[in-house]
Chain A
Amino acid sequence: MSDIKIKSKNLNVYYGDKQALFDVNLELNEKEVTALIGPSGCGKSTFIRCINRMNDVIDICKVEGNIEIDGIEVNDKELDVVSLRERVGMVFQKPNPFPKSIYDNISYGPKIHGKGETKSELDEIVERSLKKAALWEEVKDRLNEPGTGLSGGQQQRLCIARAISVNPEVILMDEPCSALDPIATAKIEELIDELKKTYTIVIVTHSMAQAVRVSQKTGFFHLGKLIEVGKTEKIFKNPDNKMTQDYITGRFG
C-alpha cells in the first residue's frame, strides 16, 4: 500500500447559492492513478480544481473544508498558489496549447519558475518533457512551429508535456481524452500508465472503460457527494453501493 499524497476532509464548495460539493472526504495515494467518475455536473471537476486552487479564478466560488498535500493545507489563504501549481500540474478537457511555438509552450513554465537559467538547460527540459509525454519523436524537427498546428491528440500530449515541464508531484487531468479519437486516447492512456511511476495522477473521466484501464483507485461522485471510493477492481466488479452499481452498468447517468 502506497502513502497518502492528497487528503480532503469535509470539503464543501459553493458556486454562489448553489452547493457543488458536500462533505467530500477522499484520500489519494502517491504514484497511483485515481479515477473520478460520475454523471455530468456531479462535482468531479470541481473537486480536482480544488486541489490546485483553480477555483480561485471563479469569483462566486467559495471553498470550505480542508485539502492537504503531504500534510500542507491547500486552502490556507497564506499559501502561495503559484508554488502550489508548480507542484500540482493540470491538463484540461480541451487541449489548450498557447498559440506559440512548441518549444515556447514547454519552456514557459520552467522559465517563470526560474528553472532553466541557460538556453541549454531549457533545451534539456523541453526534450525531457516531450520525451516523457511521448511526443518527442513526432515534433523534434519542428519545435519552432506553432503548437496549435498539431493534431488534437498531439496537442493534448503537448499540454501534458507542458504540465510535466515544471516537474510537479501531482498531475490533475480533467477528461483529457474527451475531445480525442480512440487512437489518440490509447496513446494518452499508455502515457498515463508510464507517468504514474513518477507522478500522482488524478483523472476525471466519463469513460468507465478508461477508468478500468488506467486507474488503481476509483471514486464515484453523484450530485456533489462522494458515494463510494475504493480499489478500481472492486468498484467495477463488486460495488457496495446500489447507485454505483446502477451507474457503472449504465442504468443512469
Chain B
Amino acid sequence: MTKEERLKKRHKAEKRFRFYGLASIFFALLFVLILVNNIFSKGSSAFMKTAINVEVFFDPELIEIQNGATSDEILEADFYDIAIETLLKVYPAKTLDEENALIDLFTTDAEIEIKRVFLEDNTLIGKKINLEITASDDIDQLHKGNYPRDLPEDRRRISNFQLKIYDNLVENKKIIKNFNNYFFSNGDSRDPELAGIGGALVGSFYSIIICLLLAFPVAVLASIYLEEFAPKNKITDFIEININNLAAVPSIVYGLLALQILLATIQLPRSTPLVAGITLALMTLPRIIIPCRASLKAVPPSIREGALAVGASKFQSVFHHVVPLALPGTLSGTIIGLAQALGETAPLILIGMVAFVVDIPSTPIDPSSSLPVQVYLWSESAERGFVEKTSATIMMLLSFLIVMNFVAVYLRQKFEKRWN
C-alpha cells in the first residue's frame, strides 16, 4: 500500500466513525422524542376537566338548614335532594331509567360540589346560582375526543339517550373545559374524574425527605471516613467492593428486606412514607457513597499537603479544605441518587404502598401512595379516564426528575473548582 492509499484509508475510517456516532445520537433522540410525544399526547388532556353548567336552586323545602348555618351544620346537612333536583332540570327525563342515565352524566361528587359552594357562602338558601359541576368520566372522555361514539350502542358505555343529552348540552354551550384542580388536590379515587395525585405527591415528598435525612449524613460521613481516614487494608477493600455490589442490587431486594425487617419484625405501620423513606434510604445509600467518594478523590492531594504543611491536623485538612471542595460533587451525587429513589417503584409495592389510599397523608406515618406507584396502579385500571391520568402522572414525575437533575448539574457547574 502506498502512503497516499494509507492516508486515504485513515480519513475514510474517521469519516465512517463520525457517521456511526451521528447515527447513534439520531436514534437515541428519536426514541426520546417518541416517548415524550407518546406521554404528552396521552397525558396533556388530563390537566383539563369537563364540567357542565347547571342552575342550582337552594330550595328551602329540600334542605333542613337555614341561612347563616355554621360550617359544622352544613357539613352534616344532606344536600342530596337539591343535587338530584338540580341535575334532573338539565334535560327532561321521562322514566326512572332515563333519570338515572341523566344523573350518571355527572360526577358522583355533584352533591359535595354544591355543598362546597354553600360552605363558602351560607346565605344562598332561596337563591338560584349558576354552577359548573364536574362531568362524569364518560362525558369527560367523550368531550375530549378520547371516546369513539360510532360504536354500536350495546358496546358503548354511553347510551344513545345520554349522547342526545350531551349533544344538546354542547349546542347550548353548557359544556365547558376548565383547569383540573382535582388532579392535584385529590387523592386516589375509583372515579377517574375525581382521582388525583395529591396523595401520591405528598407521599413521595415525605418519602424522599426521610430518605434524604437518613441517607445523606450517613453516606457523606461514610465516604469521608473511607476516603480520608480509613487505613487501606483488606477490610476496607472488602467494604469498598461490597458498597459497589450493594449499588447494583435490584431494588426489589431492598423491598423484601424492608418487608421482613421493618414491617414483620419491627412492625412499623405498613404503606407509610416512613417505611418507604427508610427502604429508599437503604437503597440510595451506596448510590450516594460512590459519587461522594469520587468527588473526594477528585480533590488533588496537593491541597491536603498544603494544609498539612502549615500545621493543620488531619481533621482540619479534611473539613476545612477537602470537604468544601468536594461538596458540589457530593450534593449533585445526592440529588441524582434521590431522583433515582423518587422514581423507584418495586420496593414500594412490596411494602404495601399499592394500597388504595383516598386520603392525603398528613404525617409520614399515614398510609399513602407515591408517584411511581400511582402510575403503576392507574396503568392497570380499565377506565379510559385513567389512561390520561397515568400519562399525566408520568409527566409530573419526569418533570420532577428533570428539575432535580438540572439542579444537580447546575450545582456542579457553578461551584466546582477547576484544577489545572
Residues of B within 8 A of A54 (CB): 305, 308-309
Do B311 and A86 touch across chains, with their CB atoms under 8 A apart?
yes
Closest to A146 in B: B417
- The yes or no answer to A162 lying at the interface (CB within 8 A) is yes
Q: Which of B232, B311, B316, B325 contacts A99 (CB 8 A)?
A: B325
Residues of A within 8 A of B130 (CB): none
Whole-angstrom CA separation of A155 from B377 in the bound complex: 61
> Interface readout for A161-191 with B: 1 if CB under 8 Å, 0 if not?
0110110000000000000000000000000
Q: Which of B310-350 contact A (CB under 8 A)?
A: 310-313, 316, 320-321, 325
Q: Which of A83, A99, A163 contacts B310 (CB 8 A)?
A: A163
Closest to A83 in B: B311
> Interface readout for A40-84 with B: 1 if CB under 8 Å, 0 if not?
000000000000101001010000000000000000000000110
Q: Which of B302, B311, B325 contacts A96 (CB 8 A)?
A: B302
Q: How far is the CB of A173 from chain B (nearest CB, A)?
A: 11
Q: Which of B231, B303, B311, B325 contacts A85 (CB 8 A)?
A: B311
Interface centre among B305, B316, B325 (most CB of A within 10 A): B305
Do A85 and B309 touch across chains, with their CB atoms under 8 A apart?
yes
Q: Would A165 and B310 be within 8 Å (CB), given that A98-B321, A112-B316 are in contact?
A: yes
Interface of B is mostly: helix
- The yes or no answer to A204 lying at the interface (CB within 8 A) is no
- The yes or no answer to B307 lying at the interface (CB within 8 A) is yes
Q: Would A109 and B306 be within 8 Å (CB), given that A59-B232, A99-B325 are in contact?
A: no
Chain A residues within 8 Å of B, Cβ to Cβ: 52, 54, 57, 59, 82-83, 85-86, 89-90, 92, 94, 96-99, 108-109, 112-113, 148, 159, 162-163, 165-166
Q: List 21 A-B contacts (CB under 8 A).
A: A54-B308, A82-B311, A82-B313, A83-B311, A85-B309, A85-B311, A90-B309, A92-B302, A94-B302, A98-B307, A99-B303, A99-B417, A108-B307, A108-B310, A109-B311, A109-B312, A112-B316, A112-B320, A148-B417, A163-B309, A166-B310
Do B309 and A52 touch across chains, with their CB atoms under 8 A apart?
yes
Do A85 and B310 touch across chains, with their CB atoms under 8 A apart?
yes
Whole-angstrom CA separation of A243 from B308 in the bound complex: 36
Do A89 and B305 touch across chains, with their CB atoms under 8 A apart?
no
Number of interface residues of B (CB under 8 A): 20
Do B305 and A96 touch across chains, with their CB atoms under 8 A apart?
yes
Residues of B within 8 A of A89 (CB): 309-310
Whole-angstrom CA separation of A132 from B240 in the bound complex: 47
Do A92 and B311 touch across chains, with their CB atoms under 8 A apart?
no
Do B316 and A85 touch across chains, with their CB atoms under 8 A apart?
no
- The yes or no answer to B412 lying at the interface (CB within 8 A) is no
Do B320 and A108 touch across chains, with their CB atoms under 8 A apart?
yes
Closest to B302 in A: A96
Whole-angstrom CA separation of A90 from B310 in the bound complex: 7
Interface centre among A59, A86, A96, A159 (most CB of B within 10 A): A96
- The yes or no answer to B304 lying at the interface (CB within 8 A) is yes
Known contacts A97-B306, A98-B303; 8 further A-B pairs (Cβ under 8 A): A52-B309, A57-B305, A82-B311, A89-B309, A98-B321, A109-B311, A112-B320, A162-B310
Q: Which of B192-242 contact A (CB under 8 A)?
A: 231-232
A-B interface, 9 closest residue pairs, ranked by CB to CB distance from nearest:
A96-B302, A109-B310, A90-B309, A85-B311, A86-B311, A96-B306, A99-B417, A82-B311, A82-B313
Q: Which of B65-119 contact A (CB under 8 A)?
A: none
Q: Which of A59, A94, A97, A166 contacts B311 (CB 8 A)?
A: A166
Residues of A within 8 A of B232 (CB): 59
Whole-angstrom CA separation of A83 from B308 in the bound complex: 11
Whole-angstrom CA separation of A57 from B307 in the bound complex: 12
Q: Which of B290-312 contact A (CB under 8 A)?
A: 300, 302-312
Whole-angstrom CA separation of A112 from B319 in the bound complex: 12
Closest to B420 in A: A148
Do A96 and B303 touch across chains, with their CB atoms under 8 A apart?
yes
Residues of A within 8 A of B302 (CB): 92, 94, 96
Do A57 and B309 touch across chains, with their CB atoms under 8 A apart?
no
Q: How far is the CB of A94 from chain B (nearest CB, A)?
A: 6
Whole-angstrom CA separation of A78 from B213 in the bound complex: 40
Whole-angstrom CA separation of A57 from B232 in the bound complex: 12
Q: How far is the CB of B66 from chain A (nearest CB, A)?
A: 72
Whole-angstrom CA separation of A148 from B306 in the bound complex: 13
